[in-house]
Amino acid sequence: MNFVDGRALDAADPVDQQWWGDRLGRAHQALTGFTHPGLPAWHWVRPEAAHLGIAAWLRPAVTRAVHTLEKLQVTDRLTFGTLHGDPSCGAFLLDQTTGRIGIIDWGSVVSGPLVYDLASAVMYAGGIECATGLVNAYAATGVVPMAEIEAALPTLLNFRWAVQADFFAARVMRENNEENRKGLHDAHQALTV
Strand partners, 93: 8, 102
> Which one-letter DSSP state was computed for residue 193?
-
- The answer to whether the bond into 51 is cis (omega within 30° of 0) is no
Structure confidence at residue 2 (pLDDT):
66
Task: Quote the CA–CA distance of 40 and 106 in Å, as a whole number.
Answer: 13
Assign a CATH topology to domain 7-191: Aminoglycoside 3'-phosphotransferase; Chain: A, domain 2 (3.90.1200)
Cα gap 27→2, rounded to integer Å: 16
State the pLDDT at residue 21.
98
**Cα–Cα distance, 143 to 51 (Å, whole number):** 36
Do 62 and 162 touch, CB atoms closer than 8 A?
yes
HSE at residue 189, side-chain half, CA atoms within 13 A, is 9
**DSSP letter at 126?**
T
- Strands laid side by side in the 92-94 sheet: 7-8, 92-94, 101-103
Q: Which amino acid is at 21?
A: G
Integer Cα distance of 17 and 11 in angstroms: 6
pLDDT in tens, the chain (193 residues): 566 789 999 999 999 999 999 999 999 999 999 989 998 889 999 999 999 999 999 999 999 999 999 999 998 899 999 999 999 999 999 999 999 999 999 999 999 999 999 999 999 999 999 999 999 999 999 999 999 999 999 999 999 999 999 999 999 999 999 999 999 999 999 998 7
For residue 193, the model assigns a pLDDT of 72
Task: With H, G, I as helix, E, B as strand and everything else as coil, classify residue 172.
Answer: helix
Minimal CA–CA distance to 166: which of 138, 142, 191? 191
**Are the beta carbons of 190 and 155 closer than 8 angstroms?**
no
C-alpha distance from residue 168 to each of 42, 65, 73, 89, 151 (Å): 19, 16, 25, 20, 28
